[in-house]
Structure 1
Amino acid sequence: MSVIIRKATLNDLPVLLEFEQGVIVAERPFDPTIKDGSIYYYDISELITNPNSEVFVAESHGDIVASGYAKIKTDRHYLKHAYQGYLGFMFVSETHRGKGLNKMIVDALLKWCKARNIYEIRLDVYEDNTPAIKAYEKVGFKKHMINMRLDIESFDLE
């Protein structure tokens, strides 16, 4: 399989908007707080054009088959680093999963961050999304903190 990893362009938006919906469909079972109906997570145009972010895609035989972005974010004042590279929008089309494309996208994003002197890299993943966690661990990520939630709407708090 011949794959090219490249920076996304605004011409890629139609496919990337479909990928975004694929991410949302994949994540809904893990998150009861996501609204019903049509939603969007990202401003993909802004991620492509902003100098502090980059979207990479994997292209195979002229078709975009995977995506991901890195965004430079100011981090909390009490941490050792001033900025972090935040990764998101990691998606591989169903017919291309298991071929190492996620790693290729992550490697390109990490290279992009490192070229900007950003060495602290973060991402969020649902605790029950075992395939995603395994994919991220495979490229070197480690679990760091757990985000917890509680819905108290039906609680009797007397």
Structure 2
Amino acid sequence: MNPAVRLIDVRDTPLSLDEVYGAVTDPTAGGICVFVGTVRDHDTGQAVAALGYSSHPTAAARLREVAERIAAECDVVALAGVHRVGDLAIGDLAVVVAASAAHRADAFEACRRLIDELKTEVPVWKHQTFVSGDAEWVHPH
């Protein structure tokens, strides 16, 4: 395991910006980039009434694989990523990822890759119910 991957989790409890930020702080890091995904009140032009995330049992392991790959390919000091599952409210934190590096460009690149590759490779699904009563399952990634 790459020591740069400091925090990886999929959990059903509220996420903490401080926890994720703290995981990537380091005296050698000149730049830290954090991305926060929140539950919004609309999607595809419809008002959202309720939203929940579900994950496959391998989701945390897949997230670790993604982070390990990025840590090996990017010039980073540290990476962290946490995704929430369960029922969430509008405004709740759904995902928080962060990267630190000696220089800001590397931190931005690694953070962007971490969220983008999490969204395409980690088996997490969103179930949203609209105010209209319609509902849908979405692989939001």
Larger radius of gyration: 1
Question: Whose relative contact order is higher, 1 or 2, with alpha carbons under 8 Å and at least 6 apart?
Answer: 2
Q: Which has the higher helix share?
A: 1
Quick check: TM above 0.5?
Answer: no
